[in-house]
Structure 1
Amino acid sequence: MNSAREESTIVSRQDVEDRIRALLDGMSLEEKVGQLNLVQCTGPHVVEDLAPDIRAGRIGSILNVEDRDAINALQYIAVNESRHGIPLLIGRDVIHGYHTIAPLPLGQAASFNPAVVRDCARVAAQEASAFGINWTFAPMIDIARDPRWGRIAESFGEDPFLTGQLGTAMIHGFQISEDNGADTLIACAKHFAGYGASEAGRDYNTTNVPLNELRNVYLPPFQAARAAGVGTFMTSFSDIDGIPATASDFLLKTVLREEWGFEGAVVSDWDAIHQLCVHGLCENDVEATHLSADAGVDIDMVSAAYQQHMPELIANGRMSIARLDELAGNVLRTKILGGLMDRDVTSPPDEPPRMAALTKVREAAEQSLVLLRNEQNILPLNAAHIERLAVIGPLADEPVEQLGTWIFDGDAARSVTPLSALKSMLDGDVAVDYVRALETSRSRDRGGFDDALNAAGAADAVVLFLGEESILSGEAHCRADITLPGVQADLVRRLRTTGKPLIGVILAGRPLAMGDIIEHFDALIYAWHPGSMGGPAIADTLFGRCVPSGKLPVSFPTMSGQVPIYYGHKQTGRPATPETVIHIDDIPAGAEQTSLGMTAFHLDAGYQPLFPFGFGLSYTTFHYSDLSINHHDIPMGGSVVVEASVTNSGDRSGTEIVQLYIRDRFGSLTRPVRELKGFKRVHLEPGETRKVSFRLHTDDLAFYGRNGQFAAEPGAFDVWVSASSVGGLHAVFSISG
């Protein structure tokens, strides 16, 4: 495999820099600023509207032009009618698919399978590039530990290691091609940085992230993206310690450029340069332009602040031509390394075969499903033992809603819904009675409950499709109460009274707090928003054609008030244990006030999540044994090999995601109680045993310590090989000083 980016490395770095220098030397001030100008233009006259500015070199990038012919015409003007023939960056939010939609990134993360994430990005890149798009604003690799935040749907969850691995896979899927790179997209790692820590889970809100957390939790996935060769970075809307990311010298100069050596373009988020004034950092757009450009934002997304005010800053000596050349040079370098300067950008490749794309996203949907509950092995269902199946709920037959958030170009005609997939699979052998029961997931009208109860009463089993419509998650769609919206919980309780097996399938863009109703389900599958082929994936899993293997990439709270709750928390001085927890209902009336013996828990929710990170059931069972480590004491710079045997102890073949966790017992800064350091998908036949091996180098145990340096520290480490972030086989090793 190769990409335009990889091919360009054959040419020496000096050749690339000479090419940039030659272009800059021939460009006017207006043309240089034009390379920094990203504009949006929509409507039927987009070519006529943009053509004069493109010819004059006043535009370097466009976004949200959807028509293939219009994009080709604009590129033709840029390449053939402007002075320097520099192609345009054509940007679009291609997040988890273009026409064919894969599961949400959070759902893809449940697969713990980088290959699946890469393949879904490859499909998206092939489809989008066929319409002339060459730049996507993905992956979003913000660490998301607050499910109230709508954009958790775009994330890979709460863990830095998993996010780094999957973000790398998505970048490779977008940017690496098997041909000349024409069917690739330049990826964009966003949002740099800390956006996932928005206070109260409210989008665009302030983030208060201590330097320790920033360095050790929020930045590692971005560093992994840099190492993966990501083409661009996007700044976060939010401020950190009083400085919005779009004006942060620390993030953009110290970390990104100086420490990591990134040489591509940095783009602001939508209108973020102007919004520095709204934040209260700048008095006007002139100052916002100065601060953003000085910090290192190369491309101004839609605010036009650079175009309007940068010449003025240069004229009055507040900004140098050399600085402008750096910014424009970063954009040119991105275009060169992305292959745009060396291929015919006016003739995009053909769109890939639809069936091949659907096959890939179906595989992703299958691996994204997480079995959270399966009492008395009610699943998988056996069609031979069922005469009537009741399918109930507002999300059983919604082609658009199953696609999820931020799918501007998604083709709902490609969706196969769960209801249609079940009818097709059962094909008259089992009668399928469908009752919507609620008009939407938010509905409070119980008028359809009686029909649902009648259908359930006449059926041998009930499959209930609940959750959230896609509009309830994503950018600017945050929720304070993350229980099932509307009266869905009441519907669950009513259906429970029928005594029929009740199987829940949840379609949602975030973890939902279901502590009040979880016991009413005999079985529960979490399907996220599973994309175009979510229906067949769900149907096949319900009836055992597929064995669920997904694991949670984020912890599920019992109730909304537990948020944030995540596995990699600190120990505290008073860690909770099962023995120390008391429930609010167990406190006698008139009890004396005391804190003696108390620990860190909620009186009404305890201290544990409803379901922990890494959790997921299967239709078979897996037994872990024979943990071994080859060294109990290793020198700095050494490695330890951790091995364990995993046996399929059930009667069906299945795939287990084996996880490796560590804990640094004592450090110069307090460390998390567990950290994911490895995972492997292992397929086992019934009775089969396989030894799973992980190698840990001391570099894998490094962190930014009290002195601000990134290094491993001597001392004792716990290590677990386990099926989730709870429990597992345990051993101890040490790094000698």
Structure 2
Amino acid sequence: MKKEDLKALLADMSLQEKADQMMQLMGLFYLDDAEGVLTGPARELGVGEEDFWMTGSILGTYGAEQLMAIQKKYMEKQPHHIPMLFMMDVIHGLKTVFPMPLAQGATFEPELSGRCAQAAAREAAVSGLHVTFSPMVDLVRDARWGRVMESTGEDPYLNGLFAKAQVEGFQGDDIGKPYKVCSCVKHFAAYGGAWAGRDYNTVELTEHTLREFYLPPYKAAIDAGVGMVMTSFNTVNGIPASTNRWLMRDILRDEMGFDGVLISDFSAILETVAHGNSADEADAAKKALEAGVDIDMMTSVYAANLCRLVEEGKVSEALIDESVMRILELKNKLGLFENPYKDANPEEEKTVILCDEHRKLAKEAAGKCFVLLKNDGLLPVDMSKKVAFVGPYTNCKEIISSWAVTGDVNACVSIEEAAREVFDLTRTTFHQGCQMLDNDYHLTGFGNLGESVPGKLSEEEQKKMFEEAVEAAKKADLVIMPIGEHFLQTGEAASRAMIDVPEIQMNLFREVSKVNENIVVVLFNGRPLDLRELSKTAKAVLDVWLPGTEGGHAIVDALTGKINPSGKLPMSFPYCVGQVPVHYNEYSTGRPNLEGMQERFKSKYIDIPNAPLYPFGYGLSYTDFEISPVTLSGDVVTDVQPIRACVTVKNTGKVEGTEVIQLYIQDVAASVVRPVKELKRFEKVKLCPGEEKKAEFIIDEEMLRFLRADGTVGSEEGKFRVWIGNSSNTKNEAVFSYQK
């Protein structure tokens, strides 16, 4: 449809019809008898039958046949036959579930994440969906926050690269093309800074910190052409994001240039009343509209109030027209006016969902996200040894995540299933050992995941299972212990004050360690955990996160050496929860915890180290790498003359491996305090034994820019340090200066 046709359509719409285009309801409302719904949940929202059949979009329902039927009936009733938008949280896969986003960040391979998004878009598109609420690019520094699993980590540069790759993977160069969906970046803004790591909490950031660290990944997504942005639940500068005109109009639209659809998070506009920022629903509708929010997710705040507000002269209909035009333009870009079903295809759905190509990609992504945290020679496994698998994740298929809402755990491959394909079963045993969680633990999930009440075995059953596992461990040469968080202990509304492996599993670990010192921990987790005890006692620790559908196969390949782990931590693992929020790119202090300073009067804890247990960028391999000292092509960078920074990387071990070479820079003295170190570039280097390769990086003036004291972005003359190594903890340093 041409622009002038859209304008004519808008001009012919009634005011109520426009307001309803700005409302989004749950798709489940449309799956039952309309009258039953209207006298139940929809009625409670204040939605009448007329509004019900003019709603602009729905969320949370998928499946080609269902959505095609809804679209057909909707367009018959909609006054102008405007097609409906179908949206869903396809976070890291629809049915083929890829590793959770934080795990994808560990690959340090944005291109791979883009391919995963492309595959997810294909499954979503044939299932009738038009929009995915992904990626989440919130910067995360506090492991207590459950939603860290949805982010790619604590670094703005790395997050920005993944944001760009995922948006391009979902959307391609034209969302109207087959198998493409509109991407929605979230949550704008700074949701990852939730106070004390508690979900839905307020955020307290200086504008400098907001702009310097939190906003860049959103900007990367916008520059990549993302079609939709979602508001966050939190306050920014004391104002909820959904009613924050400065944040949404001045920054998002005017400064960042976003011209797509802005949607609230679930009931976020209405929640500004509870925040105390809006007096009532009508006030919330007025403020959100003035802030530029186009779609009200899952309340009737807009539908029930906007018409009256216009009639009373309290808001301008022109603001409503702006929002509705953006919604119509998105529908037009998707090609829905010509084909309201787009790619929905029940027959193709059967062949695309969980196809071999997608499973292969899921396995590749899982294998590249694993981080080897410790290895005292037990990995890869000596297949001639007698092995006992002991732990609740041994035969568990729940290895996706709390935000794989459409995933089917029955389609997942467990460790035991995969191990039985390659291990000598005359020398291998499998034991659950204990429940995932104690009997009194109750967890609630979303979508297909529903409610989960892990365990519920009697004390006698638990004792028998425990004793059998410990006895098997005693007889084995090697014990592989798949343990960790239950997947519903992470994600939205899953903040944890104590970020440790559940005590019931730790008790099993302690008893096993008494009878066998050769323990390999295979760690499942949706966040960085306190691993002090595990790391001290186990001889090897392989972090596999929540790896997705093909996790079992990838894990067994890693254990047996078919895959050589190459993942790097995208988020620091704290020494203990008392450190959080903890991140590598902290600001310098006037009394740093450095050698030579007075022992007492410096910035430190008196009972734990300052440094995390495992820092950002850290990860081991089954081989060894030697990195040469940094060499620079010159010692001065100017506006027109960059320099090259180089190291030579050599595989000094006995097997092929991949190392992630990371370049960090520090601005030594500036108009504002700068981080002690910032990731600026990285390169993945794959080497055979004995092979070496030069890793070369260009350092130019643009890499030295930052938000200066006067509020402008630019570089400043002075001294800089550059490090090149295999983690943020590298000491491999050189010095250069910048002159204009």
- Whether TM exceeds 0.5 here: the answer is yes
Q: Which residue of 2 aligns with 1:465?
A: 482
Instruction: Say whether residues 1:567 and 2:584 are aligned partners.
Output: yes
Cα displacement (A) at 1:362: 0.4
1:551 equivalent in alignment to 2:568: yes
Q: Does 1:707 align with 2:710?
A: yes
| CA positional deviation for 1:129 | 1.4
Distance 1:442 1:678 in 2: 44
Q: Secondary structure at the match of 1:403?
A: coil
User: For 1:24, which of 10, 19, 35 is the aligned residue?
Assistant: 10
Q: TM-score, normalised by structure 2?
A: 0.91
The answer to whether 1:484 aligns with 2:501 is yes
Within the candidate set 376, 388, 391, 2:389 is matched to: 391
Residues 255-277 of structure 1, C-alpha deviation per residue, up to 9 Å, x if partnerless? 11111111100000000111000
Among 257, 276, 282, the alignment partner of 1:280 is 276
Aligned to 1:234: 230
- Structure 2 CA distance for partners of 1:496 and 1:610, relative to 1, 3 Å: same
Query: Which residue of the other structure, out of 611, 618, 629, is the alignment partner of 2:614?
Result: 611
Q: Which residue of 2 aligns with 1:440?
A: 436
Partner of 1:512: 529
Deviates more, 1:705-714 or 1:553-562: 705-714
Cα–Cα, structure 1 residues 634 and 500, in superposed 2: closer, same or farther, change >3 Å?
Answer: closer
Contact 1:702/1:710, CA 8 A, preserved across alignment = yes
Decide whether aligned partners of structure 1 residues 635 and 535 sit closer, same or farther in structure 2, where only a CA change above 3 A counts. Answer: same
Would you say the 8 A contact 1:662–1:718 is kept in 2?
A: yes
- Contact 2:264 / 2:297 at 8 angstroms: preserved in 1? yes
Kindly report which structure 2 residues correspond to 1:248-647, keeping only aligned pairs within 5 A, or say none: 248-345=244-341, 348-349=344-345, 350-351=348-349, 352=352, 354-375=355-376, 377-383=377-383, 385-386=384-385, 388-399=386-397, 401-428=398-425, 430-442=426-438, 447=463, 448-577=465-594, 597-636=600-639, 638-647=641-650
How far apart are 1:101 and its partner, in Å?
0.7
Q: Which consecutive unaligned segments of at least 5 residues does structure 2 have?
A: 39-47, 441-458
Q: CA deviation at 1:366?
A: 0.1
Describe the SS at the equivalent of 1:366. helix
Partner of residue 658, structure 1: 661
In structure 2, C-alpha distance between the alignment counterparts of 1:178 and 1:253, rounded to whole Å: 26
Could you tell me how far 1:596 is from its partner in structure 2?
6.9
SS at 1:59 equivalent: coil
DSSP-derived class of the 1:170 partner? helix
1:525 is paired with a residue whose SS is: strand
Higher mean displacement: 338-347 or 541-550: 338-347
Find the partner of 1:247 among 243, 246, 271: 243
Aligned match of 1:165: 161
Q: Quick one: which of 642, 647, 652 aligns to 1:649?
A: 652
Structure 1 segment 137-156 matched on structure 2, within 5 A = 137-156=133-152
* 1:34 aligned residue (12, 20, 24): 20
C-alpha spacing 1:389/1:443, structure 2 compared with 1 (3 Å): farther
Q: Distance in 2 between matches of 1:303 and 1:83?
A: 22
Q: Is 2:473–2:516's contact at 8 Å kept on the other side of the alignment? A: no
* TM-fit CA distance, 1:597: 4.1
User: How far 1:576 sits from its partner (Å)?
Assistant: 0.8
- Aligned residue in 1 for 2:455: none
- CA-atom RMSD, angstroms? 2.1
Task: Tell me the equivalent position of 2:452.
Answer: none
Deviation at 1:281, TM superposition (A): 0.6
Find the residue that maps to 2:270 and give its secondary structure. helix
Change (3 A) 1:677 1:17: farther
Count of aligned residue pairs for this structure pair: 704
2:204 touches 2:236 (CA, 8 Å); kept in 1? yes
Q: Is the 8 A contact 1:231 1:338 kept in 2?
A: no
Deviation per residue, 1:671-692 (Å, 9 max, x gap): 1111111111111111111111
SS of match in other structure, 1:200:
helix
Asked whether the equivalents of residues 55 and 81 of structure 1 are also in contact (C-alpha less than 8 Å), the reply is: no
Q: Percent same amino acid at aligned positions?
A: 36
Are the counterparts in 1 of residues 669 and 718 from structure 2 also a CA contact under 8 Å?
yes
- Give the deviation of 1:346 after TM superposition: 5.8
SS of alignment partner, residue 682 of structure 2 = strand
Structure-2 residue corresponding to 1:583: none
Q: Distance in 2 between matches of 1:103 and 1:622?
A: 27
Measured in 1, the distance between the counterparts of 2:697 and 2:552 equals 36
2:661–2:726 Cα contact (<8 Å) kept = yes
Unaligned ranges ≥5, structure 1: 1-14, 581-594
* Deviations 1:496-519 (CA, angstroms, capped at 9, x unpaired): 222341000010111110113311
Cα distance in 1 for partners of 2:294, 2:180 equals 22
- Which amino acid counterpart does residue 356 of structure 1 have in structure 2? E
Cα deviation, residue 562, structure 1: 1.1
Structure 1 counterpart of 2:15, which letter? L
User: Structure 1 residue 135 and structure 2 residue 131: aligned?
Assistant: yes
Task: For residue 103 of structure 1, give the secondary structure of its aligned residue in structure 2.
Answer: coil
Distance in 2 (CA, whole Å) between partners of 1:505 and 1:324 is 53
Give the Cα–Cα distance (whole angstroms) in 1 for the partners of residues 691 and 82 of structure 2.
Answer: 58
Q: Which residue of 1 aligns with 2:203?
A: 207
- Structure 1 residues 148 and 71, CA, compared in 2 at 3 Å: closer, same or farther? same
- Write the distance in 1 (CA, Å) between the matches of 2:275 and 2:51: 35
In the TM superposition, residue 370 of structure 1 has moved relative to its aligned partner by 0.4
